[in-house]
Structure 1
Amino acid sequence: MNNTNSTKVDRAMVLAAGLGTRLRPLTNTIPKPLVSVGGQRLIDYSFDLIRGAHIQNVVVNYHHLADQIRAYVGTIKDLNITMSDETDALLETGGGVLKALPLLGDKPFAVLNSDVIVRDGAHRSLDKLIRFWDPDRMDVALLMQTTISAVGGHDHGDYHMDSGGKLTRRDERVVAPFLFTGVQIIKPHLFDGMKEEAFSLNRLYDQAEKRGRLYGLVHEGQWLHVGTEVAIKKAEQKIQGQ
């Protein structure tokens, strides 16, 4: 591994701008990152991972019901949080990160989705991903969950992984053993030359894969999908140990 001071991941972005359409009507009045599941807001699960990795500088984007996101994030005092305003246009995951790049700096940074729950197992998962990160070999590192252990998510998976962690996206006709948790480390130079518009980070994953520089690390804890009210109930039962 090559995680010297010059390459250490010390910033993170939490993606909190989504509409949460599958959770309507609940998300007509509450932004999905502020929905309570298992006794805390969804966005707090992301903040917990960030704290576990000893990261202080965090960017949070917002779009839907922006005033609520801004107000809640303003109550978080132990992290240095900067907001990225997407109220003019929803930019999806890739466009949202691109817009926030001036706030994230020129070193690799972590990105976390706030619409799923990632809970640590025996190790602090984001901290472990940072230790796994090797900028000499990797452009993107994704935290992966075994498909069979995911709760409430799709059962066809996203990627195959070799013994060294290199990822290959599954063919649409094939089931893959790993799915992406929504936690990742990415290099900012991958956005060079891209226009500020709506696009998915999957575009960058595919480019990194073609270069042989897309890697994954298996998550040892829980991954809980909370896209519907039924999924929320399943997640809460899992958190409560049922």
Structure 2
Amino acid sequence: MVLAAGLGTRMRPLTNDRPKALVEVAGRTLVDHMLDRLAQAGVETAVVNVHAFADRLEDHLKARTAAPTIVISDERGELLETGGGLRKARPLLGDEPVFVANIDSVWTEDGDSAIASLAKAWDPERMDVCLLLARLDRTLGFDGAGDFFLADDGVLTFRGEAPSAPYAYMGVHICKPDLVEGGPDGAFSLATIWRKLAPLGRVHGVVMDGFWMHVGDPGARDEAEAKLAEAEGG
């Protein structure tokens, strides 16, 4: 599932006439960057939720000729955040584990596919969620102090009251879709569920071998374009 229903307020004025998903970075929209990464990892079908400028986003997705096949989860009536969006899309997703991806992440890879490495690490017996992480010193556009500590066995601990943590969640994870069934009605964040599961050792992580760019505002978009151009040139 690709979470593309956000309002993109921090990205204004670029989102004055389009959803954040259609903001371009290095000649490709953010949603296409993510869909192409998923396709490279073998994903055949992607559910994309829509809200702001929904018609324009749907038209763009219909015009795509590359994989994956797109299925729309319509959130025009109510913005549901990450957890509520996944819950609404449950009938479209089925019961098998799913990738869930934000559209404000762009990255370069030094080796194997980051998403494929996430799938390889997935073990439903030991985990309910597995998050793709970036090393804090290999990020751009992320202004936090880190999100997680990572144990040797892959178990994640939230930063909590610590002044910093070495890893940032980079907006892509794999999970059991039924984990949202216990969530509240309406809008809610997936992080609220992760915080309940983490003390049980059910939230794991994989560190990406590459460089992550969080494209959250126009300045970060410009920095990401420069970084991608540098990577291509190098």
TM-score where L is the length of structure 1? 0.91
* Consecutive unaligned residues in structure 1, runs of 5 or more: 1-12
Question: Does the CA-based 8 Å contact 1:95-1:198 persist in structure 2?
Answer: yes
For 2:123, the equivalent position in structure 1 comes to 134
Correspondence 1:1-242 to 2 at 5 A = 13-77=1-65, 78-241=67-230
Q: Give the deviation of 1:173 after TM superposition.
A: 4.2
Question: Which letter does structure 1 place at the counterpart of 2:179?
Answer: L
CA distance in 2, matches of 1:109, 1:134: 13
* Consecutive unaligned residues in structure 2, runs of 5 or more: none
CA distance in 2, matches of 1:157, 1:225: 13
CA distance in 2, matches of 1:18, 1:239: 24
CA distance in 2, matches of 1:144, 1:119: 13
Q: SS of the counterpart of 1:26?
A: coil
Question: Does the CA-based 8 Å contact 1:45-1:118 persist in structure 2?
Answer: no
Q: Give the deviation of 1:116 after TM superposition.
A: 2.1
* Identity %, equivalent residues: 42
Change beyond 3 A, Cα 1:20–1:172: farther
Question: Does the CA-based 8 Å contact 1:46-1:118 persist in structure 2?
Answer: no
Question: Which letter does structure 2 place at the counterpart of 1:185?
Answer: I
Matched length: 230
Question: Does the CA-based 8 Å contact 1:45-1:119 persist in structure 2?
Answer: no
Per-residue deviation, residues 142-193 of structure 1 (Å, max 9, x unmatched): 0000111111112400000011111000023420000000010011221223
Per-residue deviation, residues 175-232 of structure 1 (Å, max 9, x unmatched): 0000000010011221223343111110121122021110000011221121121111
Q: Going by fraction, where is helix more abundant, 1 or 2? A: 2
Per-residue deviation, residues 70-112 of structure 1 (Å, max 9, x unmatched): 0011012332211000010100011001000100001110000
For 1:10, the equivalent position in structure 2 comes to none
CA distance in 2, matches of 1:193, 1:26: 36
Q: Give the deviation of 1:114 after TM superposition.
A: 0.6
CA distance in 1, matches of 2:220, 2:118: 26
Change beyond 3 A, Cα 1:229–1:53: same
CA distance in 1, matches of 2:16, 2:24: 15
